[in-house]
Amino acid sequence: MNTSAETLEVAILGGGLAGLGASMECGAPVFEAASRAGGVAASDQVDGFSFDRGIHVLNSKSPKVLSFLADLGLDMVPITRVAQIYSHKVYTAYPFQVNTAGLPLRLRINSVWGFFNRNKHPDPTNYEEWMYRNIGTTFADTFLIPYSEKFWGVSPKEMTFEWTGNKVPMPSTLQVVRGALWSRQTAIGSNAMFHYPKNGGGYGAVARALEKRAGDIRLNHRAVELDTTARQVTFENGARISYDTLVNTIPINELVRITTDAPDEVREAASKLRTNSIRVVNLGIRRANVTDKHWVHFPEKDISFFRISSPSNFSPDMAPPGMSSISAEVSYDRNSPPDSEELFETVRRDLVRVGLLRDDDEIVVRHSYDIPFAYCIYDRNRKAAMRTLKDWYGERDVITCGRFGLWTYFWSDEAINSGRTTGRKVLKRMNGDSSVRAAG
């Protein structure tokens, strides 16, 4: 079908939090491939259960972020984290660095000893060395390296560590010693207390609130062709637009794939960007309170999932009365997604093995969701590749933002902020401020 192009001053590709945030600021229409907005931060409603797309909580304590969400009409409730690690057949509180009491004695002694000697390791050049230098050899070898390999699907030797900032909890010596001797409850890290929407229907409430403030949202519009010379985008449904400025929030390597006039150096840069992929396996269970935990990490390789959460513990409306829910997250290679049926059974069996389900528990809902672009991998190529891509698109008035638009480990509030900052920048350009360039 060859329809004439709709002319737009600004168009936004992708209706996740970043795209919605950008539209909220500049009012431009959003073109979203899926039949609903929210991207990876949406929630799914299935037979009375609500499931987020992998665990989603608000980690930020920034008054600015909280008042922004309150202004959107969201009631974000503070919740004290109940999170654990399952290792050596024992549940201990998260994070492991400060909660080894309960684990085998030798492991506790070695963990503390390794922590004391961490400064003997040289300045790190990769994520694995960063772990040795910051938490010591035993913590790294027993927990974080196996967890990282399971989660990211690559060796931490291949990764850089500039993203670790507020993402990996850093303990004091006192906390490590106390945690090894007697305390099983030391709470550190940015989500020791978190916020979750009370409004109902899961974390997707945040995206739904943003949608109300955004411009026109065109669902079922998957961009399949971008010509940056003609400034035109074609969609799978046959629609076409022309634009002055394009805001991109879809994964940047997907954008390159559909760009007809991208030169070899741009394609080469995009091919260097790596991500992990996650299958979220959701189970609705006919039993109240199957667990009291919000989430549990599983570093050991013989368990199929790296993390589970229990949505029914985040808000009472997440499951029908008398029922509970569990979401298990399984990391996979994007080129070989696991078989769904087999995975359901593997996950159920592993949940029984770790004591979270009983063998005779009735599973009333089985649902799964694929996140092909889940967490971007920070490696030595990422920074230079992103610079090439941002510069090339920026010169063509395509501004890229959001988690995979910038290939960045953004949390939800940071993704919204990235979109809003871009939206404001675009608005200034629309209002004739020629000092605002598209790049960067």
Ligand X SMILES: Cc1cc2nc3c(=O)[nH]c(=O)nc-3n(C[C@H](O)[C@H](O)[C@H](O)COP(=O)(O)OP(=O)(O)OC[C@H]3O[C@@H](n4cnc5c(N)ncnc54)[C@H](O)[C@@H]3O)c2cc1C
* Per CB under 6 A, 222 contacts ligand X: yes
DSSP 249-276: -S-HHHHHHHBTT--HHHHHHHHT-EE-
> For residues 177 and 224, which CB has a smaller minimum distance to ligand X in the complex?
224
- 163's tokens: 């993203």
- Fill in the DSSP letter of residue 103: B
Question: CA-CA distance, 159 to 147, in Å (whole number)?
Answer: 14
* Per CB under 6 A, 308 contacts ligand X: no
With CB under 6 A as the contact rule, the residue among 10, 11, 32, 87 that binds ligand X is 32
**How many CB atoms within 10 Å of residue 70?**
11
Output the smallest distance, CB 181 to ligand X, in A.
31
* Per CB under 6 A, 15 contacts ligand X: yes
* Per CB under 6 A, 256 contacts ligand X: no
- What are the CA-CA distances from residue 192 to residues 37, 81, 195, 294 (Å)? 29, 5, 10, 11
* Per CB under 6 A, 54 contacts ligand X: yes
> For residues 13 and 319, which CB has a smaller minimum distance to ligand X in the complex?
13
* Per CB under 6 A, 13 contacts ligand X: yes
> For residues 118 and 396, which CB has a smaller minimum distance to ligand X in the complex?
396
- Element at 129 (helix H, strand E): helix 127-135
* String marking each residue 377-406 x if it binds ligand X according to CB under 6 A: -------------------------xxx--
Query: Three-state DSSP class for 31?
Result: strand
* Per CB under 6 A, 250 contacts ligand X: yes
> For residues 40 and 356, which CB has a smaller minimum distance to ligand X in the complex?
40
Rg over CA atoms, the chain: 23
> For residues 83 and 323, which CB has a smaller minimum distance to ligand X in the complex?
83
With CB under 6 A as the contact rule, the residue among 10, 12, 17, 318 that binds ligand X is 17
* Per CB under 6 A, 204 contacts ligand X: no
Q: Is 289 left (phi over 0), alpha (psi -120 to 50) or beta?
A: left
* Per CB under 6 A, 346 contacts ligand X: no
> For residues 82 and 101, which CB has a smaller minimum distance to ligand X in the complex?
82
8 Å CB contact between 76 and 83 = no
Options 31-39, 126-134, 264-272, 377-385: segment touching ligand X (CB under 6 A): 31-39
Burial of 190: CB neighbours in 10 Å, binned 0-12, 13-18, 19+: middle
Longest dimension (CA), the chain: 72
* Per CB under 6 A, 412 contacts ligand X: yes
Q: Which residues bind ligand X (CB under 6 A)?
A: 13-19, 31-34, 39-41, 54-59, 222-223, 249-250, 254, 278, 371, 374, 402-404, 410-413, 415
